[in-house]
Amino acid sequence: MEDSLQIVYIADLAFGYNREVLRGMVQSALLQPRINLKVPVGAGNGAINGLLSTQVNGVILSGLSTHQKIVTQLGKLRLPVVVVSNDSDAQAFPTVCSDDVAVGRMAADYFTARGFKRLAYCGDPDRTWSQQRMAGFTQRASEHGIQVVHLSRVRTPAKSNSLNSAIDCEQWLLSTPKPLAVFAGNDLLASSVVGHCRRNSIRVPEDVSVLGADDDDLFSQLRKPYLSSIRLNATEIGGRALSVLVDLMANGRSASTMCRIPPIRVVNRLSTDIFGIEDGLVCEALRTIQRELEKPCSVKMLCRRLNISRPTLERRFKESLGRSPAAEIERLQMELARDLVIDSNLKMTTIAARTGHSTSKHFSTSFRRYWGQTASSMRSASQFRISAMGTK
- DSSP of 192-235: HHHHHHHHTT--TTTTEEEEEES--TTGGGSSSSPPEEEEP-HH
- The CA distance from 285 to 356, in Å, is 16
Radius of gyration of the chain (CA): 23
Query: What is the pLDDT at residue 51?
Result: 58
Report pLDDT for 5: 84
User: Residue-wise over 358-391: b if at least 16 C-beta within 10 A, else e?
Assistant: eebeebbebbeeebeeebeebbeebebbbeeeee
Q: What is the dihedral of CA 64, 48, 28, 231, to 10 degrees?
A: -50
Q: What CA–CA distance (Å, rounded) separates 94 from 244? A: 8
Give the pLDDT of residue 42: 53
| Residue 321: per-residue pLDDT | 86
Helix (H) or strand (E) holding 35: strand 35-38
Count CB atoms within 10 A of the CB of residue 170. Answer: 17
* CATH topology match: 5-97+236-261 vs 100-232+267-272: yes
Best CA proximity match to 147, nearest among 116, 185, 126: 116
pLDDT at 158: 39
CATH class, range 5-97+236-261:
alpha beta
Structure pTM?
Answer: 0.81
At residue 105, the pLDDT reads: 97
Contact 381, 235 (CB under 8 A): no
The pLDDT score that the predictor gives to residue 80 is 87
- The CATH number that domain 100-232+267-272 falls under is 3.40.50.2300
Neighbours of 38 (CB within 10 A): 15
- For 32, other C-beta atoms within 10 Å of its C-beta total 11
User: pLDDT tens track of the chain, all 392 residues?
Assistant: 467 888 889 888 888 899 999 999 998 888 888 888 888 765 455 556 665 666 788 889 987 666 666 766 666 667 888 999 987 665 678 899 999 999 999 999 999 999 999 999 999 888 899 999 999 999 999 999 999 999 875 443 434 333 444 568 888 888 888 889 999 999 989 998 998 898 899 999 989 999 999 998 887 777 788 999 999 999 999 999 999 998 888 887 655 588 999 999 999 899 998 888 888 899 889 888 888 888 888 899 999 999 999 999 999 999 888 889 999 999 989 989 998 998 888 999 999 988 988 888 999 999 999 999 999 988 887 764 434 333 33
Q: What is the CATH number of domain 280-389?
A: 1.10.10.60
Q: Helix, strand, coil proportions of the chain in percent (round to 5)?
A: 50, 15, 35
Name the residue ranges covered by the structural domains of the chain.
Answer: 5-97+236-261, 100-232+267-272, 280-389
348 Cβ neighbours under 8 A, 6+ residues apart: 341, 360, 363, 364, 375, 376
Please give the single-letter amino acid code of residue 131: Q
